[in-house]
Amino acid sequence: MFKSSAPLEKIWTGAPVSNGVAHAVVHVLKDQFDEPDQDSIMPDMVAAEMARLHAALDVTRQEIEELQRVMGGESGSAESEIFETHLLILQDSTILKQTEKTVREQCVCVDWAYYKLMCKHMNALRGLDDAYLRERFLDVKDVTQRVMRHLRGELMQHPMFDEPVIVVAHDLTPSDTVQLDRSKVLGFAVETGSTVSHAAIIARSLAIPAVVKLHGICEELHSGDTVLLDGEGGLLILNPTAETLARYRSREEQAERREDVFQLERHAQAQTVCGRPICVGVNAEFVEEAEIVQDCGAEEVGLFRTEFLHMENPNATEDDLAESYSRVVRSLAPKRVVFRTLDLGGDKVDERLALEPEPNPFLGWRGIRLSLGLKPLFKRQLRALLRAGMHGSVGIMFPMVSGVQEVLEAKAILSECADELTAEGVDVPDEIEVGAMIEIPSAALSADLIAAEVDFLSLGTNDLIQYTIAVDRLNDRVAGLYQPTHPAVLRLIGMSVQAARSAGIRIGMCGEMASDLTLTPLMIGLGLNELSVASTQVARVKHAVRRLAVKECEELAALAAKQTSPTEILHLSRAVAERCYPELFE
């Protein structure tokens, strides 16, 4: 008897964050700033290696100069001086000469020679007593990271896959996600992350499976391995056997048949059994999602996260942006598209903008704070959005608002942009709806003041929960405390709804809580008539709405308000949900 040489099946269990099943080879994403390999080169390759370095230095220079423009720092200002220093480091002829010497004498690739030399400089600076010189360590580090990225071609073009792949990563940041060739990504398998991490949110928008908390996969998996990713069961299966594949195929066929039933009425408006219309919109991040949005049955795009387009092409001009936004608006008209202005910062880091790492990025220079601080960048976006507003129904929404003053400041800049465009002879809409996100407790607590200044509010519960309970939405260790049904969160939602009602303006919810079918009864009971959800959830949320009565939902909300335990509130809502639409929980 011969022993079977079939590779062994191995299963990892993680946390499911986006449904679906994918069977494909994996592509393992490497950490960006590992020490480069000390690859040998032939003596006649020195000139070609140095040409690679010069090309990388050139792109980095353009990048820093563009940053200098966007940041709008006055010459002589602290910001401007930092960029000047970076440009000097970049152009230092001694560094170039020493790198070339190493490449020539040791016959090694330029990546390694440059990296080693810059590390030597960093180590020398790090040990100095002089605080000013010690600070220069960060400058050298920043420049080195930029150059290394370009040397590896990581930002010059998207990592290309020849075939469709499942992406495996330790930590898939939003900026990693935008650099992928998404047309070839069939799923995400990640070691860290949470339901509300942006990789999970994007997977749901793109309707591909994703599983997080798959500990140890980066160590054991290699690009090219074949796996099956089960986004519902939270499993990653290496070398699935024929039996496993057959089991999944039959399960998938059943799921498809069930799904077909929910999908039948997806394009019709959703009304509760007592006739209250509930607007079910969709969240989106990329231009290419327009087709998914059209097909999923959403009535509008309740949240378009523009920072992903920005990270895809940080150097986009106003014309480029106007074109991208207009394409989205035109392809979805007459549906309304609510564009959220850049919510950079937190985990959505544009490494080219961040001057220095922040100790607490989620409490730092994020969202509207960053936009108000970088007026040229903000104006470029607002002007582009106003121009896109000529092609259909557009709303502009400000993220991470902590109080009404920021809204007033942002609105003033928006008016300034509209006046400038008009003076330049460019058409802008007579009216454009302006909204604010409620995702910081201070905003919810002053929602009445904000509501007086805007046309609509949108509850961003992903952040509202983390800031209310002081629990990092990405931190595995405190994930158990991330409770959407915490009484404090529900009170803030209730207050915001009341404030919007008193002001006679609309209020919706675009955080992931709106996609959670167990919470739909509670959300309707709290008075929400607009839910913006993941594309894969639109038909299901509509199906749920059609089976709920407002009176029962309001009674549920009243009962929930008397509870002390988040789990008990969750159970109460789930009980209503399971009774009214059990088929969605099969």
Chain residues that interact with Mg ion, rule: CB under 5 A: 439, 460, 463
Instruction: Select the binding partner of residue 438 from ligand PEP, Mg ion, none (C-beta < 5 to 8 A, by kind).
Output: none
d(CA 534, CA 516): 10
Instruction: Select the binding partner of residue 510 from Mg ion, ligand PEP, none (C-beta < 5 to 8 A, by kind).
Output: ligand PEP
CA nearest neighbour of 508 among 527, 495, 492? 527
Q: Give the one residue of 53, 279, 492, 510 binding ligand PEP; rule: CB under 6 A.
A: 510
Q: Give the one residue of 461, 468, 520, 573 binding ligand PEP; rule: CB under 6 A.
A: 461
Report the residue number, 305 or 547, with the smaller CB distance to ligand PEP: 305
Active-site residue 279, yes or no? Answer: no
Q: What is the 3-state secondary structure (H, E, C) of 316-340?
A: CCHHHHHHHHHHHHHHHCCCCEEEE
Dump the DSSP string for 39-96. -B--GGGHHHHHHHHHHHHHHHHHHHHHHHHHHTPPTTSHHHHHHHHHHHHHH-HHHH
- Contact letters for ligand PEP, residues 301-330 (x by CB under 6 A): --x-x-------------------------
Measured in whole angstroms, how far is the alpha carbon of residue 172 from the centre of its chain?
A: 10
User: What is the Cα Rg of the chain in Å?
Assistant: 26
Q: Give the one residue of 343, 350, 433, 516 binding ligand PEP; rule: CB under 6 A.
A: 343
Active-site residue 54, yes or no? Answer: no
Question: Which residue is catalytic, options 27, 86, 198, 310?
Answer: 198
Amino acid at 186: L
CA nearest neighbour of 148 among 115, 179, 116? 115
Report the residue number, 332 or 397, with the smaller CB distance to ligand PEP: 397
Least separation in angstroms between residue 466's CB and ligand PEP is 8
Per-residue tokens: 552: 């029962």
A 10 A CB-CB count for 6 gives 9
Q: Give the one residue of 511, 525, 527, 566 binding ligand PEP; rule: CB under 6 A.
A: 511
Least separation in angstroms between residue 196's CB and Mg ion is 9
Work out whether 508 is an interface residue with ligand PEP (CB under 6 A): no
Tell me the number of residues near ligand PEP by CB under 6 A.
10
Per-residue tokens: 298: 């959403």
Angle 4-14-197 from CA coordinates, rounded to 5°: 140
d(CA 325, CA 327): 5
Q: Give the one residue of 173, 205, 462, 515 binding ligand PEP; rule: CB under 6 A.
A: 462
Is beta strand 210-212 parallel, antiparallel or unpaired with respect to 185-190?
Answer: parallel
- Contact letters for ligand PEP, residues 252-291 (x by CB under 6 A): ----------------------------------------
Report the residue number, 172 or 217, with the smaller CB distance to Mg ion: 172
Least separation in angstroms between residue 484's CB and ligand PEP is 11
Q: Which residue bears the tokens 């089960």?
A: 230
Least separation in angstroms between residue 510's CB and ligand PEP is 5
Work out whether 531 is an interface residue with ligand PEP (CB under 6 A): no
399-424: b (≥16 Cβ within 10 Å) or e: bbbbebebbeebbeebeebbeebeee
Measured in whole angstroms, how far is the alpha carbon of residue 473 from the centre of its chain?
A: 13
Report the residue number, 290 or 509, with the smaller CB distance to ligand PEP: 509
Least separation in angstroms between residue 402's CB and Mg ion is 12
Work out whether 395 is an interface residue with ligand PEP (CB under 6 A): no
Work out whether 193 is an interface residue with ligand PEP (CB under 6 A): no
Question: Which residue is catalytic, options 510, 543, 553, 580?
Answer: 510
CA atoms within 13 A on the CB side of 484: 22
Report the residue number, 191 or 463, with the smaller CB distance to ligand PEP: 463
Stretch that binds ligand PEP, among 131-139, 203-211, 455-463, 563-571 (CB under 6 A): 455-463
Q: Which residues here bind ligand PEP, judged by CB under 6 A?
A: 303, 305, 343, 439, 460-463, 510-511
Q: Catalytic residue positions?
A: 198, 510
